[in-house]
Amino acid sequence: MTFVTKTALGTVGAATVGLFIGLAQPCLAADDPMDACAAIANPDQRLACFDAAMRARGRAPAPEAVQQERRRSFGLHAPNISLPHPHLGGPSQNPSQNADDAVTVELAEVGRSHDDMLWIRTREGVIWRQTDPIIVRVAPEVGSSIQIRRAALDSYFCDMTKWMSVRCERVDQPPP
């Protein structure tokens, strides 16, 4: 009796393990997009492939959401940790890889402070204040787009028009 019980339990256990292995096989299928992405040698193309595969599964943000977050967080100061090699997060030797050097934003509000300095609020709610003593005679209009770009020594330029740029800084509140 005990031999029959042990054999029956062994058969049930083997069937259960076989069922779990059968369920796991679709995850290991050769036609899985993640496997195809892992086979790509170029790191930028591989990352783009992984992003597309995760978006298709609903597990990665849409490119529009990523761009909106980039515009919202542009100008925030993160700690500058210098690592020796670009692959470890260090400074890039290729200037084209520094995509965070400029951002184009749409204006939701434009105003002037008591000292006639310009300030703007973007659609994302970020406020930028002019720091140059230059008087901007014609302020940009609400709804127009401007470019904010990184400058030397941790400063920024707000390109108001094609011909007019002023130094600016990101602030928490509009000036009085």
| Own/partner pairs, 31-34, CB within 8 angstroms, 24+ separation | none
pTM of the model: 0.52
Domain ranges of the chain: 2-56, 99-171
pLDDT bin (cut points 50, 70, 90) of residue 55 is: confident
20-34 tens-digit pLDDT: 444 444 444 457 888
Cβ-proximal residues to 118 (8 Å cutoff; 6+ apart), any chain:
110, 111, 112, 129, 130, 136, 139, 160, 166
Question: 68 pLDDT band (50/70/90 cuts)?
Answer: confident
In tens, the pLDDT along 123-158 reads 999 999 999 998 888 889 999 999 999 998 888 999
Check if the beta carbon of residue 102 is closer than 8 Å to that of residue 109: no
Q: Which residues contact 56 (CB under 8 A, 6 or more apart)?
A: 33
